[in-house]
């Protein structure tokens, strides 16, 4: 069996794994403090979402929610900390794109993907294509036309992982080329973008927000499947005519495979209840996130769809693991 089929089979088995756990744990959970392991550092948008939801969930659960930040190593530090806990009171708060890209990066995954069981979708990072105002481009169509006119002359800074793979697919299907500029920290590309040394940035909108407000950078479209409610005039890539650029920045809670399905569904229901708090949406929007709660089955399906899409795209692009 190929690596891709093994991973797909592992995720497909997750509902059965969770359903097989004892149901009597539903009313007993949580019995003590709950930990959220976050793969990015304090102050990040992901960290903010974890703390906003954690504070409200703690009130509903009658137990504290402790945030532990484990940044680094493409999210693997957080994943390993979560898996090694072997604890139904420890949940991973992460973007699915963190690990759906791992099979394209690692010939041998340093963890078992079956250990990551989707529990509840919380939000979506809004990902956008940003360009300098000085480039005089206002739409994706205009960007494609310019790239065709000047092949390889536009400098590109894509966020590594699923975002980069998705944009590579867009370049291929559109029949255009750009020159990638590698950044160890994608936020460092913003200065070059604002000064037109880099012509295209593909990243969470929070990264470029300050330069957009300063009038030096503009967004052309979001990769998400839905428009951001706080940027209603900005089209999605699909609406702009480029479905190959569609990518949702799914963020949510993942539990161990020993977590009873009934508990997972209760957590998801509580997340959806907290999401109705009118104070949370604006605070997430300020950090470039769209509040987007979803149940266990829905989140599992969304993660699996992203996993299969990234795998198929990587195969079509001939991407091979380099680690």
DSSP labels, 163-187: HHHHHHHHHHHHT---EE---SSGG
pLDDT tens, residue by residue, 238-250: 999 999 999 999 9
Domain boundaries, the chain: 3-125+248-317, 127-223
Beta bridge partners of 291: 123
Residue 87 CA to residue 40 CA, distance in Å, equals 21
In 3D, which of 126, 94, 80 has the Cα closest to residue 252?
94
Tell the CATH superfamily of the 127-223 domain.
Answer: Periplasmic binding protein-like II (3.40.190.10)
Question: In the structure, what pLDDT confidence band is assigned to residue 27 with cuts at 50, 70 and 90?
Answer: low
pLDDT tens, residue by residue, 238-290: 999 999 999 999 999 999 999 999 999 999 999 999 999 999 999 999 999 99
pLDDT tens, residue by residue, 137-194: 999 999 999 999 999 999 999 998 899 999 999 999 999 999 999 887 888 999 999 9
- Check pLDDT > 70 for residue 30: yes
Residue 205 CA to residue 271 CA, distance in Å, equals 24
Question: Distance of CA 212 to CAs 10, 129, 146, 205, 234, Å?
Answer: 42, 12, 21, 9, 13
Tell me whether the CATH fold assigned to 3-125+248-317 matches the one assigned to 127-223: yes
Decide which of 3.40.190.150, 1.20.1600.10, 1.10.287.130, 3.90.930.12 is the CATH code for 3-125+248-317: 3.40.190.150
Q: How would you classify the pairing of strands 200-204 and 155-158?
A: parallel
Residue 95 CA to residue 290 CA, distance in Å, equals 13
pLDDT tens, residue by residue, 36-90: 999 988 888 899 999 999 999 999 999 999 999 999 888 999 999 999 999 999 9
């Amino acid at each position: 069996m190929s690596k891709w089929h093994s991973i797909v089979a592992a995720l497909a088995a997750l509902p059965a794994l969770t359903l097989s756990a004892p149901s009597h744990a539903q009313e007993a959970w949580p019995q003590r403090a709950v930990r959220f392991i976050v793969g990015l550092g304090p102050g990040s948008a992901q960290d903010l979402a974890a703390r906003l939801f954690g504070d409200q969930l703690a009130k509903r659960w009658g137990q504290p929610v402790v945030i532990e930040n484990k940044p680094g190593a493409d999210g693997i530090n957080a994943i390993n900390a979560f898996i090694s806990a072997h604890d139904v009171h420890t949940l991973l708060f992460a973007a699915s794109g963190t690990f759906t890209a791992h099979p394209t990066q690692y010939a041998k995954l340093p963890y078992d993907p079956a250990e990551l069981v989707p529990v509840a979708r919380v939000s979506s990072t809004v990902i956008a294509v940003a360009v300098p105002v000085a480039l005089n481009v206002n739409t994706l169509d205009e960007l494609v036309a310019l790239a065709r006119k000047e092949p390889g002359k536009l400098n590109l800074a894509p966020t590594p992982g699923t975002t980069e793979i998705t944009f590579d697919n867009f370049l291929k299907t559109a029949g255009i080329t750009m020159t990638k500029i590698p950044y160890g920290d994608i936020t460092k590309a913003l200065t070059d973008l604002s000064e037109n040394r880099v012509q295209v940035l593909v990243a969470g909108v929070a990264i470029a927000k300050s330069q957009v407000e300063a009038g030096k950078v503009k967004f052309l479209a979001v990769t998400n499947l839905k428009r951001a409610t706080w940027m209603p005039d900005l089209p999605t890539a699909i609406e702009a005519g480029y479905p190959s650029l569609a990518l949702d920045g799914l963020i949510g809670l993942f539990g161990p495979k020993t977590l009873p399905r009934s508990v997972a569904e209760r957590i998801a229901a509580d997340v959806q209840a907290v999401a109705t708090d009118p104070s949370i949406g604006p605070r997430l929007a300020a950090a470039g996130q769209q509040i987007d709660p979803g149940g266990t089955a829905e989140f599992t399906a969304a993660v699996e769809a992203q996993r299969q899409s990234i795998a198929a795209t990587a195969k079509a692009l001939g991407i091979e693991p380099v680690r």
